[in-house]
Chain A
């Protein structure tokens, strides 16, 4: 499956958190409670304003992400859901996800989500060890995760994702295996398994700049990665993307749409969209965003026109993230060019370096290619 669905995805960004994690470089803040209400109003307005763009297209996924959307009172989420349903053609079987953090959930919220039609919960666990959670600046502990999952499952949520992180300084292989085992013990069908990335404009980034950061051992980090894949796959969660694993039928359709280079609209501050050969991002200035919406102007931050050539390049670097790879024959017909011929030499070279494997018209990263994916991607930039 290389071609994206004709149906679109919607993303709604909630930039509020109880506390900012020390590795996080997303647009989000803590201590902004007075802005919650006006912000939600703005997002609802934006949903209305932009509905014309997609006209009659069907929406196959909705993702309410952040920040911590579950921090909001549930009626805010309900209002958003109402607006989406009112202005968009949400398919009956659409995947509707909300991002949550342990410690922010309660019975009322979960019940409300369920009633509003949300059918997938993503829970940020990150690590099972409280000292690691504290190091990363997380507000919750492992016990909070347990409660959240049990609550969600009791209310009928079966499609649950857990985010977990490896390659944390001071994290041992034992810690990591414990985290994996705990996640599995809850019968969670989807896991996002991230290698900790130290971004510049974060507290961790500052520590690194100031020389107060000890990079974890690379060897250990890669062992953690392959261990995770090994253990999860044994339990029936198959790796389908560099950092994502799921039981059959539980792959995240919203994210698949990104990797297959489908179209999507983003709402809220700093949200990105990709539609009709354009990529654009909303302003990441909260005041500017809300004022623009208020005055009925597009809250545009930056915008790029994507040429056919660039689109193909994106299809390659996004599609190769998927374990099933890319069918070059499909791409050839989408882009009306012989992709196999165009990239033939590069692919042969990458295959020789054992970074990709070619089977028929399908190309995909090898196990080694997963570790060095950027080396592959830069060939298609």
Chain B
């Protein structure tokens, strides 16, 4: 049972597909509850990072506390926990969801439910959250709220007749959403006198305070000065400060009690000691069991990241370390490539996570980087019985030493208008997908379920899906496990020498096509040089594709007299600059784009 204090608290999150208006709705609620004046608003307060704003996605979970006077005249504390909106951050989503009693499901009035939304709704339902459907963008010409309400009822089985119909953008009916939160979402429960159990749903790093953990207190209470223990990592810290979260800052408080959402600082230096999903308890009176659902973040996608300018290696390492302060799921370790020199093998939760990190390195840290083709983790059983995990194709053992090889497979859920079913099936088939089933959402939309190897998805599956469906299809996937597969390592030789950074692992059936495409692509990317450059794609010693970059026959300025010298010097300087941007691989100069071109083979 909730006590009197708890009865006036609501903890909720918002589930929405990208672009369906989650952040805008959050902004309007903040405005309406006075947590933020219009003047303070820098559109979409919750998405702090530039990349988040540009891509319209939330990467880091955020939380804010709002005070709102309900229809009954009482003041309520509304804690909004903003969840990451992408499949790569599924685990983080699940922890945010676990911190709430309810979820607002925002659905675009013209587009309806999307694959990822559905996945997150199911996740919320699993955690017994009360779902409050909200129909957004009702003022747009294409809005068909009645159909969408029916879709929500048919697909999810939720009562949606009374769903608020709003326009977050234009501030229409926002109060009805807040009232619905109070009336429909249950108040938190949890014994204030029980031993402390607080769920960490995110953390950020602050230069002065150390790690700031975002927590939901499930049971018990905590105050500054107390010694807390992380139940999974076992680390103990003394609480220096705690309190509530508001846009762009924190409000310190004396304590946090069961049912409340807030932050806690305890001079924690390493974000890895404050893991999302871990349970905080008190060292003096520990809980017997941690909260359920903790998982260690496991990177699924790997790639090499190298500084374009070898001298920037230390800068790259420093930047990765800084990023890791706020992102415990980012992993990296030094690696060396013959072609690219010193760099790092980095592990990511997924492709988006990888792209975000790459983009942040380039934009926030001003680094020019070269990334190698992404890889997944393969499991190899060698003929001598040894078992290894492989995240870098370069380290693949000789085929004669391999007994069996397994690759990760995912369950992929694709939602699409029916007209694209044929071409999506073709695509999935081509990517070695196994058809699991198809369900109709409504007469014109279906869900397709496929089992697919992850290594097919990480190439350019998203792009291919988008281009085949004009962007209408949405994708969600979850790791299902490992399956034995006939995989080979494809090497690229330039002028007879293997370029390690270009090697990748591919299913034997697809090796020929991909090898051929890759050789063609490299032929277009590598400029002509003083000698002919054979480009070979090979599996072991067998060459499966060959292209040639013809040699140029001359590179000489015919005239250079008194008036030409200054100009010719400039020309030569420009030529030298161009050469500097090349990587010397053996005797061949390879432009940086070549290492990335394998990511986009358009197959």
Contact = CB atoms under 8 A, between A and B. Distances in A.
Interface of A: 9, 11, 194-197, 218-219, 221-222, 225, 242-243, 255, 258-259, 264, 266, 270-274, 279, 281, 302, 304, 314, 317-318, 321, 353, 370-375, 377-378, 381
B561 A258 contact: yes
B33 to A, nearest CB: 61
Contacts of B572: 317, 374, 377-378, 381
Interface residues of B, number: 21
Interface stretch (B48-56, B415-423, B460-468, B562-570): B562-570
B446 to A, nearest CB: 47
Nearest to B530: A372
B557 A373 contact: yes
Given A281-B566, A374-B555, A378-B572, 16 more contacts: A9-B562, A11-B563, A195-B554, A197-B557, A197-B558, A197-B559, A258-B560, A370-B556, A371-B553, A372-B530, A372-B556, A373-B557, A374-B557, A378-B575, A378-B579, A381-B573
B562 A272 contact: yes
A243 B561 CA distance: 11
Contact of A195 (B556, B562, B563, B579): B556
A356 B530 CA distance: 14
Contacts of A381: 569, 572-573, 576
Given A195-B556, A243-B558, A371-B556, A266 B569 contact: no
18 contacts: A194-B558, A197-B559, A221-B554, A242-B560, A255-B561, A266-B562, A279-B566, A281-B563, A317-B572, A371-B555, A372-B530, A372-B556, A373-B555, A374-B556, A374-B572, A378-B575, A378-B579, A381-B569
Nearest to B580: A378
Contacts, number: 86
B552 interface: yes
Closest A-B pairs by Cβ, 3 of them: A218-B553, A272-B563, A378-B576
Contacts of A264: 562
Contacts of B569: 314, 317, 381
A222 B560 contact: no
Interface string B571-587: 01101100100000000
Contact of B565 (A218, A258, A371, A374): A258
Interface string B537-560: 000000000000000111111111
Contacts of B565: 258, 272, 274, 279, 314, 318
A9 B561 CA distance: 12
Nearest to A223: B553
A184 to B, nearest CB: 21
B580 to A, nearest CB: 10
Contacts of A270: 563
Given A281-B566, A377-B572, A378-B576, A318 B555 contact: no
A377 B530 CA distance: 15
Given A378-B572, A381-B573, A222 B563 contact: no
Contacts of B555: 371-375
